[in-house]
Structure 1
Amino acid sequence: MDGEFYVGIDLGMINSVMAFTDGDGTISIQRWEKGHTKFPSVILLTPNRSYAGQLAIDRKFYEDRYHFENCFKRMMGTTHKQRIYNVDYTPTELFSMILHKMIRTFEEEHGHKIERAVLAVPADFGDAEREAVMKAAYLAGIKEPKIINESNAAAISYRHDTTDFIGKAAIYDIGGGTFDVTVMDMHENGFDVLSNEGSKFLGGRDWDLQLASIIQKKIIAGAGLTPRDIDNDSDLRRRILSEAERHKIILDRVDRSKGALLVHGKYIGFEITRTELDNATIELVSKTIKMTNDAIRAAGLTPNTLDRIVLVGGPSITPLIRTMLENEFPNVEITRYDPIHAVARGAAIYAHSVFKTKDIKIRSVLNKTFGLKMGIDGEESVCNLLYRNVTLPMSKEVVCRPKMDDQDVLDVAIYENRSNRGELHTPLTRSRLLKTFHIPLTGRISRGRTKIYIRMSADLEGMISIEVECNNKTDTCDLGSDIYLSNEEFSETMHRVRMVQ
């Protein structure tokens, strides 16, 4: 209806961005404190209340800074917990606080309640991470969340602004904490994703840490300290990292930068050069280029049949990244596009489509390989059924036998990994357990004669479902069931989320 807003959110490890469209499809970027378009993805937890975004940064010098939480995106979908003031906080809950503060600020400014939104996540996020994002959305009050890969969202935004481009492109998306490269065919009728590669442990934060290491060595030399002195001074380490973040941005524009830090009552000056930063981060860029080549091969292409590489994400403005890409792909057009807002804009455009016009068509591939734990030649490994970088939807069935006569329960362990199509089995050590289902078996069970059919399917959105059939009885296994909380858990968590200022 007219006046309706369609919201897209880029949940970043360092900063998050919200974009929205009105009923006519006009795109806007939400602005926060002091007109900024980036919402810091940080939480300050105190005994009485919590703070999110810029307010958390402003208050951390007056509150207990040891409970200043950031960079938790990489921990989404894990069992990691941070116990603070006798409360166990999960990365999911912390992200829900970020979302809730963003949504509440938007609602207060625009007078419109957000109950539907598209959330952009790294293409490399597996099933557990995506479930965690969905749970965070529910906790934040979003009743109908949808997920889109960040690189897909960036492609939608790019195509919206570059309507004349039709061809095969690699979306090179490097954010604050994650890296994805998606190869896709952009055509008149939509987007066909051909392959994804990436890592949730590679992003701009790693450039910060390398530069912080350079600055730290200069401070040690200038102040006469030892590495142990730095290790024992958390405040100095924090200030060194803050300086690294600042100088990294400066070195994107100039060849050298100077700074100073107060150490034991004395200012210690230092100078850093772009050459020093490049030498320290060349291996990081090399990793992204390897993944880009892997994605091109997985798509069935060569660099000579790729039309364009589109750079998005804040760190993509780093000169070394473009230089090394141009050297690796001399015959491919390389262009930089809206590094900060591309993902959020694309998510908002997609929200307008998925919730209203239905005019954007994306054919995606599965982002991970999924399989079952089975005994193969006396050793347990993962029997792969659904493969990554294969076009969705897909389905596969396997037949197994009970281990013993009169067996009453079948344990079905679901794993994900990064194996490529054709790799039938993967060691457990290279796979990640998602969930184990305990399926009751009924009827006559014979070790030698009873057949158990296990069907694994992935729908058009990559959501996994499992069915187990035995003696004409079928059980459905829901990997996503854990995103829902009990009424008591939901109430307790929601109370904490709503206390965020």
Structure 2
Amino acid sequence: MSEIATLPDGPLVGIDLGTTNSVVAAVDRAGIATAIPDEDGERILPSVVHFPRGGEPMVGAQAKAMAAVDAGRTAAAFKRGMGERTFLAGGAAFVVDGREVRPEELSAMVLTRLRLTAEAHFGRPLGGAVITVPAYFGDPERRATITAGELAGLKVLRVINEPTAAAIVNGLDDPSSSGRILVFDLGGGTFDVTVMRVGDDRSLVVEATGGDHRLGGVDFDRLIVDRMAQVAAAETGVDLRTELAALADATAKAEEMKKELSRTTTSTRPLTVGGRSLSFTLTRADFEALLDEAGYLQEIEDHIVAVLEDAGLEPAALDHVLFVGGSSRIPAMAERVRACTGREPRFSRNPDEDVARGAAMVAAKTAHEAAPPGAALAILDASSQLALMPAPRDVASRGLGSTVVDEATGATVNQIIIPAGTPVPCREEVVNRALEDGQTHLNLDLTEGDSTDVDFVRILGEHLGSFGRPVKKGHPIRVSIEYTADQLIICQAYDGETGAFIAEVKVTGGGMSDSEKESALEQLARYRL
């Protein structure tokens, strides 16, 4: 890598914080992005944390290996719980030595390892980072990701959607990829499908996005584990899922078999259950039948159809289909996408690293555009393709609004103020009215969802504000919602006559409190990761 894109504070990096694996990358001043290897030459870090009894936490491959012998003290797939207290099966929290460890803190350990890898590579502290998130992450999950970065000692410049990051890399790596693209991003724990337009000048405009941030490779592994359990129970009378060591071993082997079946048609692994040894064989056809029976293939097709409808497109309007994420390698995915789009999928050049590479490009471009003219040249050469590329435009992945009372029915309904698919950044405002004479307060809330039915939206936060005086029925109230480029949200209400501030919603969404952050920082400072 030639001279690196840097700020006065240090080099810029992009990070793909994945459910199963994570990667850190940097970009040189020519705009070429490369994943950064650790001291062992590995570019991919498993997103797994293990807490040995009486020892320092392990992060990465070593932690993943410990899952087979000490599953109860090993955390994985915690990205799915970002912004929530619980992420384990059955809604349980991850507790070790009597202490609850939140997903943000576990993610911070992974990010710390990536930060240390990059700092060792460059021999100096980092100047800033862009972290990727699934396009279908909501505001609480995005804020939790930023919190994890801050806990890890990173200056988080912004978060960016994973499909957008992948498309940026693809667009600069392959100049022939302009046109309308469907990005199919299926990773270890999340699934995004995004339609975007890529111009000849490498401009990128997202038109629609959808998906499920709780669907991915770990779910497919679980199907194989369940089949293993059926076979083992028939031979031994023991359910391997009741034995922690057997379950951890089966889970690791299920992942191996899943990957192997993308290259071959049959895979076999030994299992030890109830003290007995047995052999388990799975064919590709068997695996595809499991995916079909579980409804995953149909769910994936439904998301593709829905996103095309949101974009107002027929499949024939697509010029390319780009596959990103490790689980996109499963042959059944290409077959299903080919059938419902009529397009031959094209794989990202490196599905495991390209999202991090795209994030590094965004980090450099963001800093380049914000820098004074003289300082900008220290980040990117003015003639580089990345410097000349217009800034990407994303869209709101979900609708945003506030609840109001329908005067005709008296029912509380969700008022959508920013519909899903609106280009971001954006700001929209509506005028509502006081409900009764003498009203002195307003209960302002912020909703996330695309339905007018309040039972089908998520309330991100609420605040009781005061008019400062009694107002009459029908008094105007201006409610505004701002959606930033990071897809973070600001919701405020003002007096429609005087312009006086009434209320601002502070998004909660189960995020960490200040005291929890302080406790996590103190705990992380004790670890040598």
**TM-score w.r.t. structure 1 length?**
0.91
Supply the distance in 1 between the matched residues of 2:67 and 2:221 (Cα, whole angstroms). Answer: 21
Tell me whether 1:399 sits opposite 2:431 in the alignment: yes
Return the offset for 1:489. Answer: 4.6
2: CA distance, partners of 1:59 / 1:325: 36
Question: Which residue matches 2:457?
Answer: 431
- For 1:422, the equivalent position in structure 2 comes to none
Q: Match of 2:519, as an amino acid?
A: E
Distance 1:318 1:61, change over 3 A: closer
Partner of 1:308: 320
Q: How many residues end up aligned between the 2 structures?
A: 488
Unaligned runs of 5+ in 2: 87-92, 369-379, 381-386
Q: Could you tell me which residue of structure 1 aligns to residue 347 of structure 2?
A: 336
Query: Equivalents in 2 of 1:259, 1:60: separation in Å?
Result: 18
- Which residue is equivalent to 1:72? 78
Contact 1:353/1:359 (<8 A) preserved: no
Matched, 1:112 2:134: no
Aligned partner (choices 276, 281, 293) of residue 286 of structure 2:
276
Following superposition of structure 1 onto structure 2, how do residues 438-449 of structure 1 map, counting pairs within 5 Å?
Answer: 438-446=464-472, 448-449=473-474
Matches within 5 A, 1:218-367: 218-223=231-236, 225-226=237-238, 229-282=239-292, 283-330=295-342, 332-337=343-348, 338-356=350-368, 357=380, 359-360=388-389, 361-367=391-397
Amino acid at match of 2:490: S
Match of 2:420 in 1: 388
Mapped contact 2:209–2:307 kept (Cα < 8 A)? yes
In structure 2, C-alpha distance between the alignment counterparts of 1:344 and 1:365, rounded to whole Å:
20
Please name the residue that 2:145 is paired with.
Answer: 133
Match of 2:58 among 51, 54, 59: 51
- Structure 2 CA distance for partners of 1:215 and 1:159, relative to 1, 3 Å: same
Alignment check: 8 A CA contact 1:372 1:414 kept: yes
String of CA shifts for 1:68-113, please: whole Å, max 9, x gaps. Answer: 1111111112243433323332111111111012101221232121
Does the Cα contact within 8 Å between 2:466 and 2:503 map onto a contact in 1?
no
Asked if 2 retains the 8 angstrom alpha-carbon contact of 1:8 and 1:20, the reply is yes
Structure 1 residues 404 and 13 mapped into 2: Cα distance closer, same or farther (>3 Å)?
same
SS in 2 for 1:412: strand
Q: Quick check: 2:315–2:340 contact (8 Å CA) kept in 1?
A: no
Give the Cα separation in 1 of the matches to 2:489 and 2:438: 30
Distance 1:481 1:318 in 2: 37
The partner residue of 1:153 within 165, 178, 183 is 165
Question: Equivalent residue of 1:477, what SS?
Answer: strand
Distance, in Å, in 1 between the alignment partners of 2:95 and 2:517 is: 18
Q: Which runs of 5+ in 1 are unaligned?
A: 420-424
Contact 2:188 2:326 in 1 (8 A): yes
The answer (yes or no) to whether the contact 2:399–2:418 under 8 Å persists in 1 is: yes
Task: Provide the C-alpha distance between the structure 1 equivalents of 2:340 and 2:50, rounded to a whole number of angstroms.
Answer: 43
Query: Deviation of residue 490 (structure 1)?
Result: 4.0
Q: CA deviation at 1:243?
A: 1.4
The residue aligned with 2:476 is 451
Checking the alignment, whether the CA contact within 8 Å between 2:67 and 2:248 is kept in structure 1 is: no
Partner residue of 1:123 out of 117, 135, 143: 135
The Cα of 1:147 is off from its aligned counterpart by 0.9
* Conserved? CA contact 1:168–1:307, under 8 Å: yes
- 3-state SS of paired residue (1:441): strand
User: 1:385 is aligned with what amino acid?
Assistant: I
Structure 1's 33 and 426: CA in aligned 2 closer, same or farther, altered over 3 A? farther
Note closer, same or farther for the CA distance 1:397–1:25 as it changes in structure 2 (3 Å cut): closer
Are 1:368 and 2:398 an aligned pair? yes
Quote the residue 2:371 is aligned against.
Answer: none
- Say if 1:208 and 1:474 are closer, same or farther in 2 by CA, change over 3 A: same
CA gap of 1:409–1:21, structure 2 versus 1, over 3 A, is: same
Contact 2:130 2:363 (8 Å CA) reproduced: yes
Cα RMSD (Å): 2.3
Post-superposition Cα deviations, 1:467-500, rounded to whole Å, max 9, x if no partner, equal 21125212462546897864x5544311222315
One of 480, 492, 508 as aligned partner of 1:467: 492
Alignment of 1:65-214 (within 5 A): 65-80=71-86, 81-189=93-201, 190-214=203-227
Provide the secondary structure at the position in 2 that maps to 1:181: strand
In 2: Cα distance, 1:307 partner to 1:114 partner:
39
Q: 8 Å contact 1:173–1:181 — kept in the other structure? A: yes
- The letter of the residue matching 2:482 is S
Give aligned-pair identity as a percent: 26
Give the drift of 1:459: 3.8
Query: CA–CA distance in 2 between the matches of 1:141 and 1:175?
Result: 26
Contact 1:134/1:145 (8 A) holds in 2:
no
Distance 1:205 1:30 in 2: 25
Partner of 1:20: 26
Q: What are the Cα deviations for residues 259-296 of structure 1, in whole angstroms up to 9, with x where unaligned?
A: 21122333111221111100011231221122112112
Return the TM-score normalized by structure 2.
0.86
